[in-house]
A = this chain, B = another copy of it.
């Protein structure tokens, strides 16, 4: 793996920046400054780094860097872009899964780009960067090359992904993660009606997920829906109906069952 040594400015001190900045430093880069609207947050993150200056000032005209990474909430991005000042021709990348590259169109003085780590970040959960997919997009080849080297210094999974593809990835992630998480929550509530521990389902869930990465999930579908076991389906709908706490999930059970049956 190449070991480049870039000077990187981190704009943002939230969950993504909190993990990304130390990982970049560990990979051999220099984090020159950490910006946050809230100076204390910037100082807290800078305190985790060797030689980073904390700031709440968006004028970087006197702080040249090889790469400016913007890791702020989607809703904060437009205003930040309007207010920020970077040296001419700077490489400025946002880390959002949903914002297109074209948010940089109005800013012809910089080279806009996307440096998107496909993972959820929470401050207290360690992140394994080595397997983390980075999705990169840029207007020019030099920008792409510099970001590729940066990403490859952290991870072995680096992809060039267009804004259009990123939209598709995000939709797929909503189904595979956000919606899946909701089903795991429903499952927990169902078990709680009889004080059964969610832990009991752990091996089964882990096996389900593991299988999904070796075979197309539709080809290994199991359960009453795919077996057209109408007797069990009817009993399970009754069980939902008779428990006020979980009765609202009846409609989801029916639609998911129909969807599985239509697929096969």
Using Cβ atoms and an 8 Å threshold, which residues of chain B touch A184? Answer: 175-176, 180, 208-209, 212, 217
Task: Count the copies.
Answer: 2
Would you give the shortest CB distance from A185 to chain B, in whole angstroms?
4
Q: Complex Cα distance A184/B259, Å?
A: 13
Chain A 9-30 against B: per-residue CB contact (8 Å), 1 yes, 0 no?
Answer: 0000000000000000000000
Q: Are B171 and A236 in contact (CB under 8 A)?
A: yes
Known contacts: A177-B208, A184-B176, A196-B165. The answer to whether A259 contacts B255 by CB under 8 A is no
Q: Are B263 and A220 in contact (CB under 8 A)?
A: no
Check if A76 is an interface residue, CB within 8 A of chain B. Answer: no
Stretch at the interface among A64-72, A83-91, A186-194: A186-194
Interface size class, chain A? 35 or more
| A residues at B contact (CB < 8 Å) | 98, 118-120, 122, 125, 128, 131-133, 135, 157, 159, 161, 164-165, 167-191, 193-194, 196, 198-209, 211-213, 216-218, 220-226, 232, 235-236, 239-240, 248-249, 251-253, 255-256, 259-260, 262-263
